[in-house]
Amino acid sequence: MDSGVADYLRAVVLGAIQALTEFLPISSSGHLLLAGRVMGDDISSLTFDVGLHLGTLAAVLLYFWRDWTGMALSSVTDAVEHQWHLSRWTTQGRLACLVVLGTLPAVIAGGLLDTYIEEHVRGAGVVGVTLILGAGLLWVADRFVAQQGLERLRARNALTIGLAQTVALIPGMSRSGMTISAARMMGFDRVSAARFSFFLSAPVVAGAAVLKLGKALTGDEAVAWGPLALGAITSGVCGLLVIRWLLGYMQRGTLGVFVWYRIALGLAVLAAVAGGLL
């Protein structure tokens, strides 16, 4: 197959994988690492990294545009009218602050540990183990009786969920899986847990996209703008569909389907590693 055509096909496949696994609690980093092993390619190319991140960022911004607009306007108005008396702020104004607070642990941990994890914790065996460990956490979290909505979210909750998000730096753990699990364990219902997880994803994905785009523009690697754009479009469109589906599913379903999927894939990966296939 022509290398140019292969790059475009690769962009579509990786874009779909990124969208499905970024928002579902099954680990995008783990799936992309495994996809690279199976496809026989190194998928850490900055061209694809940038495109996939921009696409999922666009999806979460577009789907929740009313929430983002409301949080931005309310936080500015509340800051002017009430200064730092947060108890007087509106629900949306407080939520904006809590998203920022919940993002800080991932920013700090990413800055300190990202290079080390990239160099030392990216084996297929690690992904197999963490997929299963994450499944256990999801299963335990979904056993909690949780009925609270985001209006009950407080600073300690946001910080705890943010700390849980840092665990997802390890491939296979899943950012959405860890944040949803933490929120469920603190008493928040499935839809609220998923919504806050989506809100936290935006600044983290945006930061990653900016850093990777900077590296792409200033580094030696030539940026393939066509595949980058196609990967972004694919991950963006698929991301919108996944977000809509997951929020609907969370209203009536449990996390069990993701638990069993993670266990099955984790066992398959470990078997492949033991057999020398990965």
Could you read off the pLDDT of 73-85 as tens digits, one per residue?
Answer: 999 999 999 888 8
> What's residue 225's pLDDT?
81
> What's residue 149's pLDDT?
92
What average pLDDT does the structure give for the chain? Answer: 89
- Does the pTM exceed 0.85? yes
Token pair for 145: 């009786």
> What's residue 219's pLDDT?
67
Kindly report which listed range (157-171, 196-210, 255-269) carries the lowest average pLDDT score.
196-210
> What's residue 5's pLDDT?
80
Query: Phi, psi (5° rounding) for residue 27?
Result: 85, 105
Higher pLDDT, 17 or 87: 17
> What's residue 216's pLDDT?
67
Q: 3-class DSSP state for residue 148?
A: strand
> What's residue 47's pLDDT?
65
CB 244 within 8 A of CB 21: no
Mean pLDDT of 22-39: 89
d(CA 105, CA 170): 15
Token pair for 240: 């919108």
The yes-or-no verdict on residue 184 having pLDDT over 70 is yes
Return the closest-CA partner of residue 59 out of 234, 207, 180, 249: 234
Q: What is the pLDDT of residues 118-139, one digit of tens each?
A: 788 888 999 999 999 999 999 9
d(CA 116, CA 107): 15
Q: What is the pLDDT of residues 211-239, one digit of tens each?
A: 777 776 776 667 778 888 898 999 999 99
**Cα–Cα distance list, 179 to 85, 148, 158, 163, 201 (Å):** 27, 15, 10, 9, 10
